[in-house]
């Protein structure tokens, strides 16, 4: 397998708490990896570490063979390491079209001068339409964000990530807070994403995880306790104890 993205021996302590405890993960183009684990396991911290939003105490992150551990978040984004956030960050009075157009302009370093005139730029608009279609949002292009369903807002966030031309896409709970009926829509949209894109998705919806992922990594108390197939994960005793048991017992996880 050709390695696109590699995290080696990543460590982070918050005070005495080892939130990321020697975590190593490798991804190849086209991987569909689910990162699961109980609340507080360190999943979001892992994403923050690899994107450069927080600084690791030790370890290395490489993208396409390049060590990006010391780079700022924006420099990693330029290289195709893109994340979405667990909490929504959209502007309620802007349309999906405006959001995606601005993301494209920002990516190309043109947000300042041209933002008011983006609809005149046919190449930008063609790309906006392509991305909104990909995520199943084209019919909603001109509505305000506050007028569209929450599940579709989450899809718009994935659209914004796609506008940045990811090679590795990190999705932090894309279905969090989305009503069950709408998660099918998210699943369909994820299915449409380019096959060579490497995607790491954090989620608590085990049905979604098992349908999406070809590989599952389980994090518990900052440590990787499992890295393998979705078929094997449910049979793993440590995983059952650390996660699936508590998941089943709790009924659902926040
Ligand atoms: N900035 C921070 N300072 C101190 N502790 C933190 C900080 N961010 C997260 N934590 C703690 O680190 C642990 C892992 O959190 P997080 O990565 O958000 O877990 P998850 O996303 O798996 O639910 C939790 O115990 C959380 O309270
Ligand atoms: Mg989290």
**pLDDT per residue over 1-40, tens digit each?**
689 999 999 999 999 999 999 999 999 999 999 999 999 9
Tell me how far the alpha carbon of residue 219 lies from the centroid of ligand 1, in angstroms: 13
> Given a cut of 90, is residue 242 above it in pLDDT?
no
As a whole number, the mean pLDDT across the chain is 90
Could you tell me the pTM of the whole model?
0.91
Which domains does the chain possess? 5-88+165-250 (3.40.50.300)
Residues pairing with 145 in the sheet: none
Which atom of ligand 1 lies nearest, measured to the CA of 46? 17
The model's pLDDT over 177-234, given as tens digits with 9 standing for 90+, comes to 888 888 898 999 999 999 999 999 999 888 889 999 999 999 999 999 999 999 999 8
Q: Is the CB of 37 under 6 A from ligand 1?
A: yes
Q: What is the pLDDT of residue 180?
A: 85
Tokens of 75: 């420099």
Euclidean distance between CA atoms 81 and 113, whole angstroms: 26
From CA 57, how far away is CA 37, in angstroms rounded?
22
pLDDT for residue 244: 55
pLDDT at 117: 62
pLDDT in tens, 74-94: 999 999 999 987 677 899 999
φ and ψ at residue 23, rounded to 5 degrees: -90, 130
Q: Which of 12, 15, 21, 40 to mutate to test the pocket of ligand 1 (most atoms within 8 A of CB)?
A: 40
Q: How far is CA 229 from the centre of its chain?
A: 20
Cα of 207 vs centre of ligand 2, distance in Å, is 18
Residue 168: pLDDT band with limits 50, 70, 90: very high
């Amino acid at each position: 397998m050709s390695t696109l993205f590699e995290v080696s021996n990543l460590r982070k302590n918050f005070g005495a708490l080892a939130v990321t405890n020697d975590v190593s993960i490798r991804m190849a183009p086209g991987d569909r990896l689910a990162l699961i684990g109980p609340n507080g396991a360190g999943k979001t911290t892992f994403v923050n570490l690899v994107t450069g939003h927080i600084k690791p105490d030790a370890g290395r992150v490489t993208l396409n063979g390049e060590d990006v551990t010391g780079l700022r978040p924006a420099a990693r984004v330029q290289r195709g390491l893109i994340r979405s956030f667990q909490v929504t960050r959209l502007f309620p009075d802007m349309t999906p079209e405006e959001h995606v157009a601005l993301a494209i302009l920002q990516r190309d370093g043109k947000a300042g001068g041209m933002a008011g005139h983006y609809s005149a730029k046919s190449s930008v608009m063609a790309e906006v339409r392509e991305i909104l279609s990909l995520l199943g949002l084209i019919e909603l292009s001109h509505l305000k964000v506050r007028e569209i369903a929450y599940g579709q807002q989450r899809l718009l966030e994935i659209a914004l990530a796609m506008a940045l031309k990811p090679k590795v896409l990190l999705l932090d709970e894309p279905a969090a807070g989305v009503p069950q009926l709408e998660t099918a829509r998210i699943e369909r949209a994820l299915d449409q994403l380019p096959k060579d894109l490497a995607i790491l998705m954090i989620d608590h919806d085990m049905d979604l995880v098992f349908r999406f992922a070809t590989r599952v990594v389980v994090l518990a108390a900052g440590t990787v306790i499992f890295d393998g197939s979705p078929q094997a994960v449910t049979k793993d005793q440590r995983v059952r104890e650390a996660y699936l048991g508590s998941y089943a017992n709790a009924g659902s996880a926040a």
